[in-house]
Chains A and B, each alone.
Chain A
């Protein structure tokens, strides 16, 4: 397991702290971890130190399948500097409602599809890319063949 010092430097600029460290350690192993309460079963993201539903401290970072449905979709014509992103083609950002629980969502970019195919309601699956020396969870359309 990488040290806190290394984790903070790999994800510099990201708010890594004692509550979110496990999520970012998961990224290094290409596992998308979200907090699930061991007592009441509620999923919640971003990570909080207790379960907001039942106040149990037994929240466990748990891998999600990463399949879900696009809930929000925007296209950035400009944005912050990022490795491999030039915005010449508007950069898609999607919020995906994950299959694990209603209302449990994760936001990232979507790769491998033209922008006009990226629409609210489309099914997606999880993928990983490398960004500035760290794995970044991203999405791919799940039903390209069917579309």
Chain B
């Protein structure tokens, strides 16, 4: 059952966001080192000290390790929800709204490990990291990353879409990353480059898949009231949804017409004051290029199978990128395919910076609203609406 109740609406804010920037190779640093850098930066930028933090919400790096690393004296709430990063935002916001904590430090450390790049095996300190879930079961599965490949193949089959439509998503991200000093991949990308890229799992190639990176993003989540007294303009969390249906296994999900994204869209629309015609910047997830096409269709910008044509009709030829209605950029930081595979934290950080007017050369004039749809189909579809405070 999908409800519209949203007592948290606009009551909780993201007061700041900071990053280390991202590198597409193994750094000589630990996840704790990267997280600490981003966390110290955001705490300072908000005009706070360690003693002001009383909640911690992170991804894989345990909250206990982060607290000990930064000497945060005491916390009354902490959690490590699963990624993508909408999970951290939703949990932190709910904790603040409920009074479990007042000022939550939220973070994510994308890190090159055996599950996302074999190159990590060259670093003896990374070999102990988690492998792909179920990898021991062999190749005869569409669980994990292969799931999106499999439904991308179905998408091509059902709609007569072309590989080039996936390529436009990769090119958009790369063109946008050129203006982002935090981005891992900034060299210009052509359609010929895309079509010539190494195939990994047909029909998806290397450039359809997010870039494994080292880095970290960190955020301060607090009440809207408290955020107004901090150093930076607050960004209000209007609504957050983590959507899922019962048949959520990759090969059992009903189809392109029904999965977690449909729940997210229905619930997020019901809980929010604005939708696509009122958004100033759009962050559809792009961990696989195909996921972006799916979100574009499912949020209602066009019909099923029409995302490729929609992108072509909203293409900014001057900048070689998507500009919806000549106005709304899509993943202006370069997204997972070019800024780096941040599992959504980069998307949230850029949205916060856009709504704070701190996005530098990428700034969307007068940006007041952002629609974010982190994650994919099965057990990780998420939605966030953010607005300027």
Q: A72 contacts B251, CB within 8 Å?
A: yes
B91-99, B150-158, B318-326 - the one binding chain A: B150-158
Is A95's CB within 8 Å of the partner chain B?
Answer: yes
A147 close to chain B: CB less than 8 A: no
Q: In the complex, are the beta carbons of B202 and A90 less than 8 A apart?
A: yes
Distance of A93 Cα from B149 Cα, bound (Å): 11
User: Is the pair B139, A46 in contact by a Cβ cutoff of 8 Å?
Assistant: no
- State A45–B153 Cα separation when bound (angstroms): 22
A147–B135 Cα distance when bound, in Å, is 35
A132 to B120, CA, bound (A): 27
Q: Which residues of A contact B51 (CB under 8 A)?
A: none
Minimal Cβ-Cβ distance residue in A for B136: A13
Q: Mark B113-156, 1 if CB is under 8 A from A, else 0.
A: 00000000000000000001011111111100010011101100
With A93-B146, A103-B254 in contact, do A74 and B202 touch (Cβ < 8 Å)? Answer: yes
Enumerate chain A residues within 8 angstroms of B146, measured Cβ to Cβ. Answer: 74, 76, 93
Minimum CB distance partner of B148 in chain A: A74
| Cα distance, A79 to B137, chains bound together (Å) | 12
CB-CB nearest in chain B for A53: B246
Interface: B60 (CB within 8 A)? no
Q: How far is the CB of A17 from chain B (nearest CB, A)?
A: 13
Q: Roughly how many angstroms separate A108 CA and B141 CA in the complex, as a whole number?
A: 6
When distances are taken between beta carbons in the complex, the residues of chain A under 8 Å from B246 are: 52
Task: Please name all residues of chain A whose beta carbon is closer than 8 Å to the beta carbon of B139 when the two chains form the complex.
Answer: 76, 79-80, 82, 85, 91, 93, 109
Q: Is the pair B200, A72 in contact by a Cβ cutoff of 8 Å?
A: no
A99 to B153, CA, bound (A): 22
Q: Considering only CB atoms, which chain A residue lies closest to B139 in the complex?
A: A79
| A78 at the B interface (CB under 8 A) | yes
- CB <8 Å contact, B200 and A77: yes
- A23 CB–B CB distance under 8 Å: no
On whether A74 and B203 interact (CB within 8 A), knowing A45-B252, A120-B153, A120-B154, the answer reads yes
Binary interface encoding of chain A residues 119-147 relative to chain B, with 1 for a CB under 8 A from any of its CBs, else 0: 01100000000010000101000000000
CB of A117 within 8 Å of the partner chain: no
Contacts of A138 in B (CB 8 A): 140
Decide if B297 is an interface residue (CB 8 Å cutoff).
no
Chain B residues, CB < 8 A from A74: 142, 146, 149-150, 153, 201-203
Tell me how far the C-beta of B127 lies from the nearest C-beta in chain A, rounded to whole angstroms.
16
A12 touches B140 (CB 8 A): no
Closest Cβ of chain B to A85, distance in Å, is 6
Is B316 at the interface (CB under 8 A from chain A)? no
Compute how far the CA of A14 lies from the CA of B139 in the bound complex, rounded to whole angstroms. Answer: 12
| Bound: A3/B279 CA distance, A | 59
A105 x B254 contact (CB < 8 A): no
User: Given that A103-B254, A136-B140 are known contacts, is A80 also in contact with B202, CB under 8 Å in the complex?
Assistant: no
B231 within 8 A of A: no
User: If the complex has contacts A46-B249, A103-B254, are A80 and B132 also in contact, measured as CB distance less than 8 A?
Assistant: yes
Given contacts A72-B153, A76-B201, A77-B200, contact A107 B142 (CB under 8 A): yes
The answer to whether A15 has its CB under 8 Å from any CB of chain B is: yes
Q: CB-CB contacts of B224-252 with A at 8 A, as 1s and 0s?
A: 00000000000000000000001101011
A30 within 8 A of B: no
* Contacting residue for B154 out of A72, A82, A106, A108, CB 8 A: A72
Q: How far is the CA of A109 from the CA of B200 in the complex (A)?
A: 17
B252 and A105: CB pair below 8 A? yes
Whether A105 and B137, one on each chain, are in contact in the complex, defined by CB atoms closer than 8 angstroms, is: no
Give A contacts to B, CB under 8 Å: 12-15, 45-46, 52, 71-80, 82, 85, 90-91, 93, 95, 103, 105-109, 120-121, 131, 136, 138
Task: Give the interface of B toward A (CB within 8 A).
Answer: 132, 134-142, 146, 149-151, 153-154, 157, 198-203, 246-247, 249, 251-252, 254
Q: A76-B201, A79-B201 are in contact. List 12 more A-B contacts (CB 8 A).
A: A15-B134, A71-B154, A72-B153, A73-B153, A74-B149, A77-B198, A77-B200, A93-B141, A95-B142, A95-B150, A103-B252, A108-B140
